[in-house]
Amino acid sequence: MAQDEPGLSGFIQLSGSYFNFRTNTISGFLRKSASETTTYSLYERPQNQQLYSILGATELRYTFQKRKYQLYFGGSLLDVVRMDMVQQLAIRRLLADNGFVSLGVLGATIPVAVWKDPYVVGEGRIETNRKSFGMRFEWSNILESNFTFQYDIRGIEIEERSGDYLGLLSEEKKLLDRNGSSHRLKISYYKKHGEHHLIIPAFVFGYNNAKGEAKRGYGLSIDISHGYNKNRLTLATNVSGGIRKYQASNPIYDIRQTNMEFGFTESVFYRLNKNPRAILLLNTSLAYVLSDSNIDFHTQSGFLVQIGIVLRFGPILIPKGGIV
């Protein structure tokens, strides 16, 4: 990776966004609803919920004078469509091989609300904020190998009431406790192909260490990113697929939950000016994620379309090959 010059760099984005969500457990974010307050069945997939919003996004980096350390702040488009508004604030040690070692804190800058008891039927459900805080360690371009290692750990805190409405026994309700911690390990490799293409395959392992065994389990996925950059046009594509399996049977359905997961994003950037230190880009993005469960009630999906303007400023820390 090319290193930034000393000073502040990054981007600011403002977009008009359309969301289409299907979820029975997440109530909403940005004070907008992502699912109906009242559900009438525990055996059907969630209904569509549409919302529109103006979204802002930012990624900021401050590189110190001797170019050995850098402060970083930012997030991810896929996290938005997954309704997981996590942001990272990190300190990076820049290395001579154009890589870096980073240690950061993770937090949700926009609260995401969930239902205290999602299994209430025929009555209004009560929402509560899902609190999340954690840390991330990352080593980019390990020993000039083009490999990157990233590990996240986060604590999850919810005012849990799952199973109260159905009158489950105390031991059964404990199985549904979503509080706990989540772990995510990602190993990726970036490779330039020709002058304009960059491919980044990745392997991702996740473990949700919830207190409730029916909500505790692991996930495996393969993630492939592709970048294309020529003249004024930049394309960024990401495709992922995987599986998530849970440890114990859900006491309501008497079956262990398994989810097949798929994600796709496509972003197009068109450069509007020629200023190398204040690049103005027209941007449109499309994102879709699906978590298809063997328990229909727990199937989730999200679809996002956004159009906006991006301002990149300062020298840009970008992968080898010049992908913006």
1 within a domain of the structure (yes/no): no
Domain annotation covers residue 2: no
pLDDT digits (tens, 9 = 90+) for 94-131: 988 788 999 999 987 777 899 999 999 999 999 999 99
Number of domains in the chain: 1
- What's the CATH code of the domain at 228? 2.40.160
Which tens digit of pLDDT belongs to each residue from 221-254? Answer: 999 999 999 999 999 999 999 999 999 999 999 9
Which pLDDT score is estimated for 75? 78
**CA 154 – CA 57 distance, rounded (Å):** 22
CB 113 within 8 A of CB 27: yes
pLDDT surpassing 70 at residue 78: no
Whether the pLDDT of residue 18 is over 60: the answer is yes
Give CA–CA dist 136/89, Å, rounded: 9
pLDDT single digits (tens) 192-222: 998 899 999 999 999 999 999 999 999 999 9
Q: Residue 83: pLDDT band by 50, 70, 90 thresholds?
A: low
Supply the range of the domain harboring residue 115. 7-313
Q: Are 200 and 186 in contact (CB under 8 A)?
A: no
C-alpha closest to that of 48 among 269, 242, 299, 237: 299
Q: Is residue 323 part of a domain?
A: no
> Is 324 domain-assigned?
no
Domain assignment present for 126: yes
**Residue 17 counted as domain residue:** yes
3-state secondary structure of 76: coil
Is 320 domain-assigned?
no
Write down the pTM of the prediction.
0.89
- Asked if residue 322 belongs to a domain, the reply is no
Question: In sequence order, which residues have a C-beta less than 8 Å from that of residue 273 and are 6 or more positions away?
Answer: 279, 280
What is the band of 36 on the pLDDT scale with cuts at 50, 70, 90?
confident
Q: Over the stretch 267-318, which tens digit does the pLDDT of each residue have?
A: 999 999 988 888 999 999 999 999 999 999 999 999 999 999 999 998 543 4
Both structure tokens of 62: 């401050």
**What are the CB-based long-range contacts (under 8 Å, 24+) for 254-260?**
255/294, 255/295, 256/214, 257/214, 257/217, 257/293, 257/294, 257/295, 257/298, 258/293, 258/294, 259/291, 259/292, 259/293, 259/294, 259/298, 259/299, 260/291, 260/292
Question: What average pLDDT does the chain have?
Answer: 90
| Calpha distance 36→124 (Å, rounded) | 9
